[in-house]
């Protein structure tokens, strides 16, 4: 018998259902994110961004202070904390009902965010690979952990996009690390295949096409982050600012293949994609639909 998939997340003591996919809105307090429209400078801009997330229906905010774009420069732990603290304070004081995920690969930053500001989740692009204390810290903090696939670090990852079978290697990576986390007592684990991280455009699309294999292999929910990434704008010959339409198209494919969380720059289009997918899903589940062999040429 196939094990049942995880259908809830414990976010600061509140059980949140994953039966309907969730939208996570990106909040970057960085000066160098690859998408200029996501960079936030100052309390006023942050408040406007958070108001937009809430108004457009985001279930989560993902707060990051260290750009993970290819070739990104090093940010010290002190600077990362300095950038995060004012934003975490505003989120805690003014948006207490909006669960906050903190995008960091450092265990001490994760601890600060959870223990001092009540962050609900940690999003680790390195999957524990850049801080050996992260897994034990997550076991102590007992908040959901986003385990992402990446080889190397943001400065070196694009030189490590070598795979015999990218999907199988991502599955093997998750299998090893999920086992370690479960053994330590980390209960809520979300899997992120890491689109754009140590993968070529072709490998990104191969992995997207095979998302269903990841869903079948694990009981943990799947997060997909493709928003405005180079896998969209490079094949189309456009900029990240022009990549919303392509993003929404790939979100629809990811939902159809089993994604439970979409990490996005543009909340409303993603929420609408989820809503329309929910209209379609009962038909997909029942096996009903149009059978083309019944059509006759005019």
The question of whether 155 is a catalytic residue gets the answer no
Percent of the chain topping pLDDT 70: 87
Which is more confidently placed, 33 or 84? 84
Q: Mean pLDDT score of the chain, rounded to an integer?
A: 90
Q: pTM value?
A: 0.90
The question of whether 229 is a catalytic residue gets the answer yes
Closest by CA to 266, choosing from 10, 49, 17, 90, is 49
Residue 25 backbone dihedrals phi, psi, to 5 degrees:
-90, 130
Backbone torsion region of residue 248, taken as left when φ is above 0, otherwise alpha when ψ lies between -120 and 50, otherwise beta: alpha
Contact 261, 190 (CB under 8 A): yes
Which is more confidently placed, 43 or 1? 43
What integer is the mean pLDDT of 177-200? 96
**Half-sphere exposure (Cβ direction) of 176: Cα atoms closer than 13 Å:** 10
What integer is the mean pLDDT of 111-140? 97
What integer is the mean pLDDT of 15-27? 97
CA-derived radius of gyration, the chain: 19
pLDDT single digits (tens) 189-217: 999 999 999 999 999 999 999 999 999 99
Q: Out of 49, 177, 199, 263, which one is annotated catalytic? A: 263
pLDDT of residue 6: 87
Show Cβ contacts of residue 258 under 8 Å, excluding neighbours closer than 6 positions: 211, 212, 214, 215, 222
Q: Out of 111, 151, 229, 260, which one is annotated catalytic? A: 229
The residue ranges of every structural domain in the chain are 20-294
Strand order in the sheet with 121-124: 189-192, 145-148, 121-124, 100-103, 60-64, 22-28, 261-264, 223-224
Q: Could you name the CATH architecture of 20-294?
A: Alpha-Beta Barrel (3.20)
What integer is the mean pLDDT of 16-26? 97
What integer is the mean pLDDT of 120-129? 97
Torsion, Cα 177 181 186 191, to 10 degrees, reads: 0
pLDDT of 38 > 50? The answer is: no
What integer is the mean pLDDT of 130-159? 89
User: Residue 172 belongs to what H/E stretch?
Assistant: helix 166-184
């Amino acid at each position: 018998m196939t094990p049942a998939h995880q259908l809830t997340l414990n976010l600061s003591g509140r059980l949140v259902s994953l039966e309907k996919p969730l939208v996570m809105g990106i909040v970057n307090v960085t000066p160098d994110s690859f998408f200029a429209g996501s960079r936030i400078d100052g309390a006023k801009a942050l408040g406007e961004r958070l108001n937009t997330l809430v108004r457009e229906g985001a279930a989560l905010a993902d707060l990051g202070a260290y750009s993970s774009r290819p070739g990104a420069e090093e940010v010290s732990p002190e600077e990362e904390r300095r950038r995060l603290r004012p934003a975490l304070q505003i989120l805690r004081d003014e948006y207490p009902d909006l669960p906050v995920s903190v995008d960091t690969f450092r265990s001490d930053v994760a601890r600060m965010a959870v223990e001092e500001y009540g962050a609900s989740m940690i999003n680790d692009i390195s999957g524990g690979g850049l801080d050996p204390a992260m897994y034990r810290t997550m076991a102590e903090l007992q908040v959901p952990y986003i385990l992402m696939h990446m080889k190397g670090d943001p400065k070196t990852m694009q030189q490590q996009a070598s795979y015999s079978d990218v999907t199988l290697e991502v599955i093997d990576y998750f299998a090893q690390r999920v086992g370690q986390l479960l053994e330590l007592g980390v209960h809520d684990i979300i899997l992120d295949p890491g689109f754009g991280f140590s993968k070529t455009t072709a490998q990104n699309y191969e992995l997207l096409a095979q998302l269903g294999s990841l869903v079948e292999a694990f009981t943990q929910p799947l997060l997909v982050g493709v928003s405005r990434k180079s896998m969209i704008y490079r094949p189309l010959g456009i900029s990240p600012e022009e990549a919303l339409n392509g993003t929404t198209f790939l979100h629809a494919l990811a939902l159809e293949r089993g994604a439970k969380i979409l990490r996005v720059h543009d909340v409303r289009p993603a929420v609408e994609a989820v809503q329309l997918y929910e209209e379609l899903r009962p038909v997909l589940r029942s096996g009903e639909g149009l059978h083309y062999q019944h059509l006759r040429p005019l």
